Amino acid sequence: MNGTTFVARHAMGRRVTGEALVAHDGFSARYDLNRLEGVFSRPAHKLAGQSYVDRVLVLDTAKGGVASAWMLHEMRSRNMAPLAIVFNTVNTILAQGAALGDITMLAGFDVDITAAVPHGAMVEIDPDSRVLRVVHERAEKASGELQQGLRLVHGPR
């Protein structure tokens, strides 16, 4: 899997490399995240309890509207934003929010990107070439996963 590349139809932002948090689930900055603690907080979300700060989020679809878009900008202003967001499908409002929040984004692949990228893998996102590349696949748990009963809390840098 190392070195495997996936080409997106839509891309924006700067080149980044980071740990992938992967789930076949949606993404709403308004309803899925605790933006003060930097974790997925909706109990039913597949990434509940995991930190999204400085991680590459690989999710099925974008949910939400203008509030989610503005929240991405607000998260960036407090250094509590994901490094990048990668979707199978995205809506125009969230694409605008990623641009406003200066968050790298890829969307629209020929495969289900949530099934193709391993959770916890190190990935490189190159928006200029519209490519996501798996740099290193890790067998252990992603560093954002928590032991039972613990909460990971981030603060402004």
pLDDT of residue 150 exceeding 50: no
Segment 116-140, tens digit of pLDDT: 999 999 999 999 999 999 999 874 4
Place of tokens 């308004």: 30
Determine if residue 89 is left, alpha or beta; phi over 0 gives left, psi from -120 to 50 gives alpha, anything else beta: beta
Note the pLDDT tens digit of each residue in 32-52: 999 889 999 999 999 999 999
What pLDDT is stored for residue 119 in this prediction? Answer: 96
Domain map (residue ranges) of the chain: 5-136
What is the dotted CATH code of the domain comprising 5-136?
3.50.30.10
pTM comes to 0.86
Residue with tokens 């990434």: 47
- The sign of the dihedral angle between the CA atoms of 126, 89, 74, 39 is negative
Handedness of CA 71, 154, 27, 20 (dihedral sign): positive
DSSP letters, 2-30, are: TT-EEE-SEEES--EEEEEEEEEEEE-TT
